[in-house]
Amino acid sequence: LTVFKEKLYFKSNACNGLSWYDGTALGCLQSGASISISSPASHLKVMGDYLYFQAYGAGYGYELWKSDGTSAGTSLVKDISSGGSSYPVYLTVMNGNLFFYADDGVHGKELWKSDGTAAGTVLVKDIASGSGSSYRGTEVPYFKFIAAVNGTLFFVADDGINGLELWKSDGTPA
C-alpha cells in the first residue's frame, strides 16, 4: 500500500497497471498509448512527484516505470535488461535517488540507482563480479534487503567470497 497524491495505490490482479482508491471509488491507471503495461504494478515507491513501480511492458519485460498519476504521465523509466526482464525490487529512496536490485542480463541481480531518467538509471556496483548475482533473495525471504538511514544505504549482498553479509553505501561505486 502506497499513498500518492491523495490516493491509495496497491497491487491488484484485477488491473494491468496501477490500482488506486481515492476514498470514494476504485480505479485502474494504465500507461499511455505508446507503451502498454500488461501486468499489475508492484514494488511501489514515491520519490518526488512520481510513483515508481515494477510492471511488465509489452516488448520490455518487467522493468522500472514511473507515473505522475495520469495515463499520459505513466512511462517506462529504462529498459534495464534489453530483451529480458530486470525485475527491479526493494525500491528505496535516498538523497534524491531511487535504489533497488535489478538484473541487466549481464551482471546478475545487483544494486542500481535511478534519478528518474533513463540516462540517470545506472548500476551502482557489480558486487559479485561477472555474471554472478550479489542478491540472494531466496536465502532470507522475509528480510527487507535495502534501507536508507541518515544518508547511508544499508543492504544485504553476497560478493561471492564472504557469503551473505550486511553492506553499506553512500550511493557511489567507491
Q: Quote the pTM value.
A: 0.89
* Cβ-based neighbours of 25, under 8 Å, separated by 6 or more: none
Q: What confidence category does residue 67 fall into, taking pLDDT thresholds of 50, 70 and 90? A: very high
Residues in the chain: 174
Q: Is 104 helix (H, G, I), strand (E, B) or coil?
A: coil
Note the pLDDT tens digit of each residue in 18-36: 889 999 988 888 766 556 7
- Cell numbers 519485460: residue: 61
The C-alpha cell of 125 is what?
Answer: 556496483
